[in-house]
Every structure is written in structure tokens, then in C-alpha cells.
Amino acid sequence: MISVTNLHKHFQTFHALKGINLQVKQGEIYGFIGQNGSGKTTTMNILAGLSRPTGGKCIVAGIDVKKIKHPSDLPIGYLPEEPKFYPWMTALETLEYLGNSKNKKADPEWIKELLGWVGLFDAAHRRVGGFSRGMRQRLGIAAALLHQPRLLILDEPSSALDPEGRAEVLRLILELKEMGKTVIFSTHILNDVERVCDTVGIIAGGKMLLEKPLKAIQKDNLAPIFDVISPKPWPAEVKQKLLQLPGVKRVEIRGVTAAITVEDAKTASIRLMHFLSKEELAISKFRQRKHTLEDIFLQEVKAT
């Protein structure tokens, strides 16, 4: 659905995107993550046809973004980072206005359905100026869907919202996938990505650090760690002994907790159990740590 190769963007002397490669497959939810200023909005504006690349190739829904005359030539729905609406218009008027401003006219029945779907049916006749952030964001998602695009590009749809508002937006994103849409959304909230994404792309300093299915990232990108807790402080010599076991890469002991990084979880767990019983070391807890995307993100960003 999206294929970006060696994308560059210069703002006068500033080199904001330094050769981005990115692939979004049809029907998936793609989480585009990066810290402030990493280049997420710059990339997404190019994908939406709002800004011209200064180098590289960018195919969106089969169309080369360099060849379009107007952003509306792209069959996509776009939610900008800070959607702006006329405060005096009602939600219904806003969607009617936005739906008809392009060379297409949105179906009035579809507009009503959309308002219901984003949970704004009861607020349809209220002025947008009085809307909460969450309501504005949901109205923005409805606006992106006015012309029934198959691809949605959402710039930070959930970042500025409270947990309830975020959960609501994430639910809508999951439903978009159920409807057969393809979604790419940016965020710096890694927990949101873990909850809904199929594929994750990490950008830092205008470069892609990693792009992989979420499941593969969770499996491949971090060595397994076992946290072993003893009812009393560990004897001093344990660290050296553990390090001598095959497959043990690192040992960190803090008080009663030993954090043991290993190569392979399965063989290491058997070996560790065997070692602990042989040394007659009592343990109160033995568990493999569950890594979060945050661990992986920090590890990748630190490595640059």
C-alpha cells in the first residue's frame, strides 16, 4: 500500500529525512514511532502529498507522490497532527463542509453513519469549538474517512489524549482494520503500538532504525532475561559461577534479585534450575522477564 525508498527531505540547509525506507502492506496497522523531532510528521506529510520530497521514491496506493497535482489526487484519508476545524460549525456541518470541499461529494447517509461510528451522534448539532480534545480527534478520524479511502494516514491520533480517549481511538483503529482498511499512524506512546500494530517502524534523527512485524521484534530483538529472587542476599561468589555457565551472557545482582541475561531461554532455564539446586541455593521466584517495546525502542535508539 505504501512503498518508500531512500526518501530525503531538506528544509533549506536542514536535512530532516536521510534516506527513509518504509513498506506498509495492505490490510495492516503500521505503527510509526519516534521521539519528538525524529521526522514522523515530515514523512507523513510527504505520504499525504502535502509536502514534496527532495529525493527518493514514494508510492502511495499505487501512485507516485511526485506526480500528483493536488493532495486530493491521492485516494487516502489523512488526520493531521493538530486537526483544525471552524469552531462555529457543528460536527455535522464540519463533515458536510469538508466532504464537499473537494471535487467529490460525501454521501449524507455516510456522514451520519460516520458520526455514529466515532461516538459523536449525540453531539452532531453541537459546535466544534466546545469539543474536548478526544471529540476533536474522533471528528478528525471521521473527516479522514469521508471519501471512503482504503488507506488512512494518521499523525499522532492518540498522543494528546487521556487513557480513556486513547483507548477509544485505538478501538477505532482496530475497527478500521476489520473494515479492510490499511492504517499507518505515528506515536511516541509505545504501549499504544503494542496494543494494536502488526508492523512497527522506528525512526530517529531522520533515519529508520528498524522495521519489522511486532511479533518478530518481540521475539528477536532482545536477549531473554531471567529474574531470580532469593529469600536472602546472594552469596558473593554466585555471580562468577553463573557467568561460567554456558549460554549466560550477563549477570546483574542487586540485593536479593539476580538478573541473568541468556542466549536461549529454553536451554538456559533448565541449566539455571540445575545450577541453583546443585548449589543448594533457595529461591523464592524464578521468572522470565517480559520485554516491552519500550525496552527495544530504548536499546535501538541508544545504539545510534
Ligand X SMILES: Nc1ncnc2c1ncn2[C@@H]1O[C@H](COP(=O)(O)OP(=O)(O)OP(=O)(O)O)[C@@H](O)[C@H]1O
Smallest distance from the beta carbon of 159 to ligand X, in angstroms?
8
Interaction partner, residue 11 (Mg ion, ligand X, none; CB < 5-8 Å by kind): ligand X
Q: Is 38 in the site for Mg ion (CB under 5 A)?
A: no
Q: Which residue is nearest to Mg ion (CB)?
A: 41
* Closer residue to ligand X (CB): 33 or 172: 33
SS3 letters across the chain: CEEEEEEEEEECCEEEEEEEEEEECCCCEEEEECCCCCCHHHHHHHHCCCCCCCEEEEEECCEEHHHCCCHHHCCEEEECCCCCCCCCCEHHHHHHHHHHHCCCCCCHHHHHHHHHHCCCCCCCCCEHHHCCHHHHHHHHHHHHCCCCCCEEEECCCCCCCCHHHHHHHHHHHHHHHHCCCEEEEEECCHHHHHHHCCEEEEEECCEEEEEEEHHHHHHHCCCCEEEEECCCCCCCCHHHHHHCCCCEEEEEEECCEEEEEECCHHHHHHHHHHHHHHCCCCCCEEEECCCCHHHHHHHHHHCC
Q: Which residues here bind ligand X, judged by CB under 6 A?
A: 11, 14, 16, 34, 36-42, 81, 188
Smallest distance from the beta carbon of 81 to Mg ion, in angstroms?
5
* Closer residue to Mg ion (CB): 182 or 186: 186
* Closer residue to ligand X (CB): 38 or 230: 38
Count residues binding Mg ion (CB under 5 A).
3
- By CB under 5 A, name the one of 41, 158, 199, 230 that touches Mg ion: 41
Smallest distance from the beta carbon of 203 to ligand X, in angstroms?
7
Interaction partner, residue 37 (Mg ion, ligand X, none; CB < 5-8 Å by kind): ligand X
* Closer residue to ligand X (CB): 147 or 166: 166
* Interface residue list for Mg ion (CB under 5 A): 40-41, 81
